[in-house]
């Protein structure tokens, strides 16, 4: 690709036609990496990206304080979609943050949003960052998140789709 330095983001899709590269870009990913990478490493990748973009030499000393390998977390970032319909209301985002192991999350679609069939990631309806020191902790936290996710349609039904299996079997 000719990229010699900087952040590189790859996105691949897996389907009936096999694995296809959907995107390669010089950017941080779009699944809340800026939140969980600082949690896991102590390094603020957004600050590094901004400094580099402005031609400033990033302070690499922050990498010396990375807690690897003795500091290990399992992390799952569910990107939540809904069934087609009209969003009437979302539950409180604060409810998601009450789940042990959840360090971030929220809703993305406003009341009145018409949701069609899923065609791409622009139809994400909610997200969360779930952490744990064991796979079981992550799976339990994911259960808590999906129990609390509440995106109601105009008929009062929860529109949330749960495509997940245990993140770590």
Question: Where does CATH 3.30.470.20 sit in the chain?
Answer: 74-161
Average pLDDT over residues 131-150: 93
- Residue 29: its H or E element: none
pLDDT of residue 63: 59
The CATH fold assigned to 74-161 is: D-amino Acid Aminotransferase; Chain A, domain 1 (3.30.470)
What gap in Å lies between CA 75 and CA 40, rounded to an integer? 9
Instruction: Name the band, by pLDDT with cuts 50, 70 and 90, for residue 60.
Output: low
- Res. 68 pLDDT band, cuts 50 70 90: low
Q: Is the pTM of this model over 0.75?
A: no
Q: Is the pLDDT of residue 155 over 60?
A: yes
Q: Cβ neighbours of residue 132 under 8 Å, at least 6 residues apart?
A: 73, 74, 101, 138, 140, 141
Task: Kindly indicate the confidence band of residue 57, based on its pLDDT and cuts at 50, 70 and 90.
Answer: confident
DSSP 158: B
**Do the bridges between strand 102-107 and strand 126-132 make them parallel or antiparallel, or are there none, so unpaired?**
antiparallel
Separation CA 64–CA 47 (nearest Å): 16
């Amino acid at each position: 690709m000719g990229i010699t330095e900087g952040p590189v983001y790859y996105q691949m899709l897996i389907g009936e036609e096999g694995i296809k590269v959907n995107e390669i870009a010089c950017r941080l990913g779009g699944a809340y990496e800026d939140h969980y990478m600082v949690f896991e490493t102590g390094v603020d990748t957004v600050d590094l990206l901004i400094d580099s973009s402005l031609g400033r030499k990033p302070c690499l000393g922050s990498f010396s304080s990375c807690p690897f390998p003795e500091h290990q977390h399992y992390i799952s970032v569910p990107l939540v979609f809904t069934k087609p319909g009209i969003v009437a209301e979302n539950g409180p985002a604060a409810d998601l943050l009450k789940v042990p192991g959840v360090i971030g999350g929220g809703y993305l679609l406003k009341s009145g949003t018409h949701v069609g069939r899923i065609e791409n990631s622009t139809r994400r309806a909610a997200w969360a960052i779930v952490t744990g020191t064991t796979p079981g902790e992550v799976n339990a936290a994911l259960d808590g998140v999906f129990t609390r996710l509440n995106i109601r349609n105009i008929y009062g039904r929860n529109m949330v789709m749960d495509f997940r299996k245990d993140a770590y079997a």
